[in-house]
């Protein structure tokens, strides 16, 4: 037996402790190719791609794993996640070896990790100063995001076969899970390094971790790209808005999209359209082979010979009302001429963030043109209150909405004549302060009781072009 002097033994133990500490892991350079896109100039053509090569200091880099849950209400989403998760696990191992940190962010699952070292490490991270405002909230739209969102995801995006979906819901219920929200922890296909990683689903905690380690580069992975990955408090938009150099790993994510919804393409094409949007409006993307070598990941079910063909993603138009939700300008002669030819109800909807401070000013009400007008808040119909003769006003009751969060506003005009006669100008009053809604809404025609609501919270089901904007009243 070889004996090691006590002093040497202590040195070995100390060295091991240093190497296992996340603050001082050995780091090197990560070479990446960042892809951005410009909108296609004409419909039916590909976006214009731009590749930029960068070398990142791994010690200033973090990988955030968003909502790779153990179970999901959509069976096909689970299947796709389980197909790419083993490769994602290899990506995380490579990132650690380079010296980057890994943050696991399975939202709503923190009770499963209450005693986990990676969770305690996140909770004990000192608070960053200053802490960005609204970092703890969902972000559904950046100020510069313009144009049309490429898919309609407001049905929740489930693309299961109906019989399989029913059987899956029954199985989840038999397991003691809520079929609508069955997740309880992160998938076991993803390794959590108890010595180095972090676990958190809070935007402020994630920000604290990033600031503690001097992180300027952030890679987002996980699901789902068009909902949680872009919108969570630790998602792409919040990282972009608050100055991080953020990218999406586009082959280690998926979207919630069903081919039965507009633009009526297969799931993988719908997902590609979302990726195009991210590259145009939010941040660049990279692929897993840039860390692992080989080829980018591709699902076995994706049998397409070529990638998606994108639309022009042009600015909202006032030229056409359709039977699916379309973002359009609701003022101007073009809109009025279209409405003249409509002989059925017209629906308007949007997501509105309601700050808590509005209620300190007094009652919060929305005024719409007088006529046969109905309004819903998060799927619950509101009753009109007395108002001036040219308006119908609806009170937004605080107990019916999510304060400091996005809420779904739906307005139905039974007769297009009401719009023509009174003008589609809406306003919001909080106490004595008054704002006007900018005239950009998601609009559709027809008659369906389900139009008044969507099966998920507005922040999940809405694209960013459905976020309502206010301006100070003149």
| Residue ranges of domains in the chain | 22-292, 326-472
Q: Which of 48-62, 98-112, 258-272, 318-332 has the lowest mean pLDDT?
A: 318-332
Q: pLDDT class for 418, splitting at 50, 70, 90?
A: confident
Coil, helix or strand at residue 261? coil
The pLDDT of residue 424 is 82
Strand segments (E) across 275-354: 285-286, 326-329, 346-353
- Residue 450 burial (C-beta neighbours within 10 Å; 0-12, 13-18, 19+): exposed
Q: What is the pLDDT of residues 422-454, one digit of tens each?
A: 778 899 999 989 999 999 999 999 888 889 999
Residue pair 424/365 in contact by the 8 Å Cβ criterion? no
Tokens describing residue 195: 């010595």
Q: pLDDT class for 17, splitting at 50, 70, 90?
A: very low
Examine the pLDDT at 6 and tell me if it is beyond 50: no
Examine the pLDDT at 396 and tell me if it is beyond 70: yes
Nearest-5° angle of CA 148, CA 154, CA 158? 120
The pLDDT of residue 15 is 37
Cα separation, 91 vs 68, in Å, equals 14
The pLDDT of residue 407 is 95
The pLDDT of residue 177 is 98
411: which strand partners?
Answer: 348, 375
Residue pair 290/251 in contact by the 8 Å Cβ criterion? no
The pLDDT of residue 312 is 57
Long-range contacts of 398-405 (CB under 8 A, 24+ apart): 398/359, 398/364, 401/354, 401/377, 402/354, 402/378, 402/457, 403/354, 403/355, 403/356, 403/359, 404/137, 404/353, 404/354, 404/355, 404/356, 405/137, 405/138, 405/353, 405/354, 405/459
Q: What is the pLDDT of residues 323-361, one digit of tens each?
A: 889 898 888 888 888 888 888 899 999 999 999 899 988
Domain covering 22-292: architecture: 3-Layer(aba) Sandwich (3.40)
Q: Which of 55-59, 129-133, 283-287, 319-323 has the lowest mean pLDDT?
A: 319-323
User: Mean pLDDT of all residues in the chain?
Assistant: 90
Q: What is the pLDDT of residues 300-325, one digit of tens each?
A: 999 998 766 655 566 677 777 888 89
Q: pLDDT class for 27, splitting at 50, 70, 90?
A: low
The pLDDT of residue 10 is 41
Class of the CATH-defined domain 326-472:
mainly beta
- The percentage of the chain sitting over the pLDDT mark of 70, rounded to a whole number, equals 91
- Domain 326-472 in the same topology as domain 22-292: no
Examine the pLDDT at 133 and tell me if it is beyond 60: yes
Residue pair 444/364 in contact by the 8 Å Cβ criterion? no
């Amino acid at each position: 037996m070889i004996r090691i002097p006590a002093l040497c033994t202590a040195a070995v133990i100390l060295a091991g402790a240093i190497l296992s500490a996340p603050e001082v892991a050995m780091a090197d350079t990560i070479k990446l190719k960042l892809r951005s896109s410009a909108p296609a100039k004409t419909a039916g053509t590909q976006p214009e791609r731009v590749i930029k090569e960068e070398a990142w200091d791994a010690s200033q880099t973090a990988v955030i794993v968003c909502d790779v849950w153990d179970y999901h209400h959509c069976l096909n989403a689970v299947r796709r996640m389980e197909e790419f998760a083993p490769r994602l696990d290899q990506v995380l191992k490579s990132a650690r070896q380079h010296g980057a940190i890994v943050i696991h962010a399975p939202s709503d699952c923190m009770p499963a990790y209450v005693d986990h070292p990676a969770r305690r490490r996140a909770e004990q991270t000192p608070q960053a100063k200053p802490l960005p405002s609204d970092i703890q909230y969902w972000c559904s739209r950046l100020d510069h995001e313009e144009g049309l969102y490429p898919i309609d995801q407001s049905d929740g995006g489930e693309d299961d076969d109906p019989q399989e979906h029913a059987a899956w819901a029954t199985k989840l219920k038999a397991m003691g899970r809520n079929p609508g929200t069955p997740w309880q922890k992160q998938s076991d296909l993803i390794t959590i390094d108890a010595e180095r990683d972090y676990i958190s689903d809070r935007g402020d905690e994630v920000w604290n971790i990033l600031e503690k380690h001097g992180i300027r580069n952030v890679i987002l992975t996980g699901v789902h790209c068009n909902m949680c990955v872009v919108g969570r408090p630790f998602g792409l938009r919040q990282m972009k808005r608050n100055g991080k150099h953020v990218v999406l790993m586009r082959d280690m994510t998926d979207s919630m999209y069903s081919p039965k919804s507009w633009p009526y393409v297969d799931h993988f094409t719908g997902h590609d359209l979302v990726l195009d949007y991210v590259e145009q409006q939010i941040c660049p993307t990279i692929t897993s082979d840039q860390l692992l070598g080989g080829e980018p990941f591709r699902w076995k079910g994706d049998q397409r010979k070529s990638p998606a063909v994108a639309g022009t993603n042009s600015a909202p138009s006032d030229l056409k009302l359709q039977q699916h939700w379309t973002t359009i300008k609701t003022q101007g002669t073009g809109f009025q001429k279209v409405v003249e030819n409509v002989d059925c109800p017209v629906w308007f909807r949007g997501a509105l963030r309601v700050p808590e401070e509005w209620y300190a000013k007094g009652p919060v009400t929305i005024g719409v043109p007088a006529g046969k007008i109905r309004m819903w808040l998060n799927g619950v119909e509101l009753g009109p209150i007395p108002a001036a003769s040219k308006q119908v006003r609806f009170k937004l009751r605080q107990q019916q909405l999510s304060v400091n969060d996005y809420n779904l506003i739906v307005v139905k005009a039974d007769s297009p004549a009401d719009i023509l006669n009174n003008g589609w100008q809406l306003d919001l009053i909080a106490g004595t302060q008054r704002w006007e809604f900018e005239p950009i809404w998601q609009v559709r025609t027809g008659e369906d009781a389900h139009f008044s609501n969507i099966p998920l919270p507005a922040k999940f089901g809405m694209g960013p072009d459905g976020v309502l904007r206010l301006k100070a009243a003149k």
